[in-house]
Structure 1
Amino acid sequence: MPQPRAIGSAKLSVSTDALGKTRLRDLRQSGSLKLVFPQTYSHDAEAVLVNTAGGITGGDKLTLTINVEGGAHLRLTTQAAERAYRAQHDEIGSFETDITVQDGSSLHWLPQELILFDRCALKRRLSIDLAPTARLLMVEPIVFGRAAMLEVLNDVMFQDRIRITRAGRPI
């Protein structure tokens, strides 16, 4: 079995301080997946996901884990469009994301688009668990080739699974 080319993982947990401002509680990151935090003047936190590998190709393995603790508010986006590049015949890239949003918290999941290129192979999974009073704003744009570049997709393997639950029940 081929070995992953790019391996990256990031784990982020945010919570609120005594004044109600969302703060970084825990951050762990390794490999090609990074989170950066732009300066904001809001009580909400903002995080930007960066894939330093420049895209995903066959054999890559990326994982992201986010925990938004009670009362915290997080906006998460990406630095640029994610790209799923051509893969070898027997290699599949993967990107798995697990998010927990606790009671009284909110998450704005706003990544830029995923661009699929011809002969890409990608399995993507997004799992979001919402507490009973948690809030979610989510956008997941996908671009099937770039029309302006006259790209045509003839052979693509793309599996995208999104699961959102509230208090353990699918919504």
Structure 2
Amino acid sequence: MSVSGVRATARIVARADGRGGTSLPVLEGEGPLALRRTRGSGSEARVMLVGAMSGPLGGDHFTVEADVEEGARLRVQSAAATIALPGQAKGEARYDVRLRVADGAELQWLPEQLISAGGSELRVGTRVEVGTGGRLVLREEQVLGRVGEEPGRSSSRLTVRVGGRVVLDQELACGPGAPGGWDGPAVLGGHRAVGQLVVVRPEFEARPVPARVLGEGAVVAPLAGPAVLVSAVAGDALRLRRVLDEALGLVA
């Protein structure tokens, strides 16, 4: 690794194959970002993101891009949690995700948790463009620190546009040096796992999903346009996943 950290990009292009399925004409990974096609279901193609190295470490910059073309269906998962760690290079690590879903296409973006280990600094930026008539399920989960350790500093920004219109643009910063109040009752309330689920469906335009509270620490909120946001906090990653899975069953 150079003093400036590792730079790596992974790219996926999903395209309708004309026979009722989805092909992957582009499936490219670099360095720590390895992509593997797995067994799909029906017209859906499936890809596993495999971390071939530790990280991201301080100074690293990882980028993952997925482009789902009209008529294609893609499901992306990761083989294990991603752990942000302190590194020899100075500066924060960056992890950017760029997703594009065309009109009539569908993407399920379901990676495992991102763990902010003690001493790490990580900035995550996720931008999603969904065409009119596109369908999306996106899950993000963050765990602040491993068992028995204080968390590193993490900041994340998620922006979702549907049909060219912004339906969600939110940012969260946690850990040492983050703006005050991040661990207070109005934000995490002492919890160490936080996640969100964004679901975009054309039918939500005519039949919006109603707002509701799901147990303790989770809420369903309709967004402008055909989209809904589920936000949740929990004591650990396992409980957080259970809440988000329950919410997905209710709204999708």
TM above 0.5? yes
Q: Which secondary structure does the structure 2 equivalent of 1:30 belong to?
A: coil
Aligned-pair identity (%): 28
1:42 Cα deviation after fit:
2.5
Query: Does 2:157 correspond to 1:161?
Result: yes
Q: Match of 2:20?
A: 20
Q: Match of 2:149?
A: 151
- Counterpart of 1:162, as a letter, is L
TM-score (normalizing by structure 2):
0.62
Aligned equivalents of 2:104 and 2:89: distance in 1? 46
1:89 Cα deviation after fit:
8.4
Distance change (3 Å), C-alpha of 1:24 and 1:57: same
- Counterpart of 2:79, as a letter, is Q
Q: Match of 1:115?
A: 115
Aligned equivalents of 1:84 and 1:93: distance in 2? 8
Aligned equivalents of 1:89 and 1:7: distance in 2? 12
Q: Which secondary structure does the structure 2 equivalent of 1:139 belong to?
A: strand
* CA RMSD, 1 decimal: 1.7
Aligned equivalents of 1:42 and 1:23: distance in 2? 12
Aligned equivalents of 1:33 and 1:114: distance in 2? 15
Aligned equivalents of 2:99 and 2:150: distance in 1? 34
- Counterpart of 1:33, as a letter, is L
- What is the aligned length? 166
Q: Match of 1:128?
A: 128
Query: Does 2:76 correspond to 1:80?
Result: no
Q: For structure 1, which runs of at least 5 residues remain unmatched after alignment?
A: none
Q: For structure 2, which runs of at least 5 residues remain unmatched after alignment?
A: 168-252
Indicate if the aligned counterparts of 2:116 and 2:153 stay in contact, CA closer than 8 A: no
- Counterpart of 1:132, as a letter, is T
Kindly indicate whether structure 1 or structure 2 has the higher relative contact order, using CA contacts under 8 Å at least 6 residues apart: 1
Structure number with bigger Rg: 2
